[in-house]
Structure 1
Amino acid sequence: MADVSGHAELAERRAAVLPDWLTTYYQDPIDLERGAGRHVWDAEGNRYLDFFGGILTTMTAHALPEVTAAVSEQAGRILHSSTLYLNRPMIELAERVAELSGVPDPRVFFTASGTEANDTALLLATGYRGSNQVLALRNSYHGRSFSALSITGNRAWSPTSLSPVQTHYVHGSRRRGTPFADLPDEEFRAACTSDLEDVLGQLHGTVACLIAEPIQGVGGFAVPPDGLFARFKEVLDQHGILWISDEVQTGWGRTGEHFWGWQAHADSGPPDLVTFAKGLGNGLSIGGVVARAEVMNSLRASSLSTFGGSPVTTAGALANLEHLLAHDLQGNARKVGAVLRAELEQVRERSPHVADVRGKGLMIGVELVRPDSGEPDPAAATEVLERTRRDGLLIGKGGLDGNVLRIAPPLSLTEREAREGAAIVADALAATGPRS
């Protein structure tokens, strides 16, 4: 592939005007200029198989014709109006999301991002319950705003201890590196439920909600055993505590087996609120909340959204959603995800760096450790990221220690592309030297 040093001037310009903490991937950052299907091209003409989708956002495909046409057509009519006016694309998308949500008597509010969606869910839950006490999972991430960071249990993404809510963290998803690491699923569920009960027993007064990702995204695709949140909900219901399922990364069929991540924990019924974003817009800036009408309508103040539910973004998002449903991309995520997972499991058998391969559907994490000690190896993850980019594959990384490869291609991925990408990961791991 061509050398990417031509991006150096743009990187210098970026550094001169954007914050230092706004990091980029790769020692030599790349400027992605265009995309088609599961591939993208940088400004130097290099082609990459995209296994990260702009952080799990390109859900169906790059440059999907249906989305492009819907956005273009709507932009030719009117770009903006706000929620102060009737908005047909917003209403049509809300009807579709409500129908698919699984939440009883649902109401939908659109935002411009997943962070804002989680902010809104916190506002609704704390107002409805009259309490600023919130439960969240250790190793969690829910966005970049002040309130979303206050419920983030991952030190790498939490820059301040100041908080508008009082957050209490419970065990739930992350196993490696915790006292629960070696427990079988049922014992893990029991231990986490006992931990939840113990935390609640130490609190005074009303608790507003528990917010949890069905699979922790930034936390390295940490996966709780199926049914855990159903056990949690039984405890929450005893106290009237609301359950918020953060589906910003797991929603819309990415896990393959279900349309929503919470449905793997459905024995005790659906969440009270579901937040979503990312994949719905396929790159358009959209997020939102679905909540029971009793909760959504409990807000006792005037409110609106300037950009949430924009005619252009909702028109594009509806076209994207209808394409996903018509082509059963959830089913494809299940089928091709199984192929990709099997290929990566073979990589695990050959590579001493790989401690765990986990996930569901097309949401797969590969955890890397030092072969001699079993300690997290973030340097190896960075090296693999660089090597895969040089070989034409884009992946992500995350986890509490930054040592987990995050693999989440568009849901239209083919079996051939799954094997191609897995082979590139395998070669990168094979070339990554041991560390002492």
Structure 2
Amino acid sequence: MTKDLLWRHRAVLPDWLALYYEEPIEITHGEGRHVWDADGNRYLDFFGGILTTMTAHALPEVTKAVSEQAGRIIHSSTLYLNRPMVELAERIAQVSGIPDARVFFTTSGTEANDTALLLATTYRQSNTILAMRNSYHGRSFSAVGITGNRGWSPTSLSPLQTLYVHGGVRTRGPYAALSDEDFVAACVDDLKDLLGHTRPPAALIAEPIQGVGGFTSPPDGLYAAFREVLNERGILWIADEVQTGWGRTGDHFWGWQAHGQSGPPDIMTFAKGIGNGMSIGGVVARAEIMNCIDSNSISTFGGTQITMAAGLANLTYLLEHDLQGNARRVGGMLIERLRGVAAQVPAVREVRGRGLMIGVELTRPGTDEADPQAAAAVLEAARAGGLLIGKGGGHNTSALRIAPPLSLTVAEAEEGAAILESALRSIL
């Protein structure tokens, strides 16, 4: 049956729509931190539908909220008052850290970043955007135009002028050998030099931890240092929290808080985990920025009642059960466990991340040369052992991405680490 579905998939869907594994699997159902495929195989899920199943599969509180809302009304558009949308917006505005916040809901992170770009360029009357090298912000025309990762940027055409800044990757590039303090100083100097050669940009958009780029990040405080430079020139800061938000990093509720010495971002985007699988994205911004649009606008599917009900139930569960604290505790243990394994596997260049957002970068032993074949082999071996993980990276997709639901238990972390250890040893 799976082979028949694969044939049908290839007959009607685009060739560029990627599938994992030499023999792709159909996931039919899930519970907690586990999923099952059409052949009845059970897997420990360490990727959560690309960081989207944030709390747990089939979480009763969320499925109940969705079911009850579906029995009342599923959708009416933003042309009518929508109680669940207002209630979720109130909660997000409160936890965002942005003063006088306004919230606009979309259906995805891509659309959220599109909206942020529209707001920033309109507010600043500039179509120049600063973005980070190795970044990823979505697959729309404008989001692709600011993506600094060649593997995810199919065209150089763009409505924006994009200038790429150093700093998103700590251990590669011209400043890799510097201390953290000198690294930050060098990146700030580079930013100042860049700004001296261009018309004033609208904004800098940055992921606090680069997701598709392989879970890379700068030293804490880099974006605060950037912010000082930006503030002097009136340039906005957009924090792309599509993957880092909602406590996944453990240490903070938002990724920007690791760089928060100069306060919250002007604009923040979110998506993925807040819906626990339902399609929710959004933008939070100060009222003066959010309200700068002077034409009519609506969102047909952004903020629809059924997704808002899911988001409310999911956020409530996350806060009441301190899943951020669990990500910090269990994630910290998992990182240390994987670093112990990595010390014995020459192909592992680096284990990085924080909380339950962990990257394992693979290279050809003794070099910094990316090894995407090794990453693909580990992905297959992990799946054979009963573990689903992801991959990414700006250097030929040679990083493994580990991002389980935030309710992961210590026993499940140990189980997953053991499977991953066996998979990594299989490439020795």
Is the shorter-chain TM-score for this pair beyond 0.5, marking a shared fold? yes
**Root-mean-square deviation (CA), in Å?**
0.7
Letter in 2 for 1:210: L
Alpha-carbon distance, 1:318 to partner: 0.5
Aligned residue number for residue 58 of structure 2: 63
Aligned residue number for residue 13 of structure 1: 8
Alpha-carbon distance, 1:227 to partner: 0.5
CA distance, structure 1, for counterparts of residue 96 and residue 289 of structure 2: 15
1:342 maps to 2:342: no
Alpha-carbon distance, 1:8 to partner: 1.2
CA distance, structure 2, for counterparts of residue 374 and residue 74 of structure 1: 52
Q: How does 1:244-393 map to 2 (within 5 A)?
A: 244-393=238-387
Aligned residue number for residue 114 of structure 1: 109
CA distance, structure 2, for counterparts of residue 125 and residue 361 of structure 1: 31
Q: How does 1:64-213 map to 2 (within 5 A)?
A: 64-204=59-199, 206-213=200-207
Q: How does 1:24-39 map to 2 (within 5 A)?
A: 24-39=19-34
Alpha-carbon distance, 1:372 to partner: 4.0
Aligned residue number for residue 232 of structure 2: 238
Aligned residue number for residue 226 of structure 1: 220
CA distance, structure 1, for counterparts of residue 167 and residue 115 of structure 2: 23
Cα shift readout 1:102-137 (whole Å, capped 9, x = no counterpart): 001100000000000000000000000000000000
Aligned residue number for residue 405 of structure 1: 400
Letter in 2 for 1:308: G
2:115–2:283 contact (8 Å) kept in structure 1: yes
CA distance, structure 2, for counterparts of residue 296 and residue 173 of structure 1: 27
Give 3-state SS (helix, strand or coil) of 1:303's partner: coil
CA distance, structure 1, for counterparts of residue 178 and residue 40 of structure 2: 49
Letter in 1 for 2:160: V
CA distance, structure 2, for counterparts of residue 421 and residue 260 of structure 1: 26
Cα shift readout 1:373-418 (whole Å, capped 9, x = no counterpart): 3311110000000000010000000001200000000000001111
Give 3-state SS (helix, strand or coil) of 2:18's partner: coil
Alpha-carbon distance, 1:180 to partner: 1.3
Letter in 2 for 1:89: P
Give 3-state SS (helix, strand or coil) of 1:28's partner: coil
Stretch deviating more after TM superposition (194-203 or 365-374): 365-374
Cα shift readout 1:127-156 (whole Å, capped 9, x = no counterpart): 000000000000000001000000000000
Alpha-carbon distance, 1:328 to partner: 0.1
Runs of at least 5 residues in structure 2 that lack an aligned partner in the other structure: none
CA distance, structure 2, for counterparts of residue 431 and residue 90 of structure 1: 49
CA distance, structure 1, for counterparts of residue 270 and residue 250 of structure 2: 17
CA distance, structure 2, for counterparts of residue 297 and residue 368 of structure 1: 45
Alpha-carbon distance, 1:174 to partner: 1.1
Runs of 4+ in 1 over 2 A off after TM superposition: none
Letter in 2 for 1:418: A
Alpha-carbon distance, 1:428 to partner: 0.7
2:363–2:398 contact (8 Å) kept in structure 1: yes
Letter in 1 for 2:234: G
Give the share of equivalent positions with the same residue, in percent: 69
Cα shift readout 1:241-269 (whole Å, capped 9, x = no counterpart): 00000000000000000000000001111
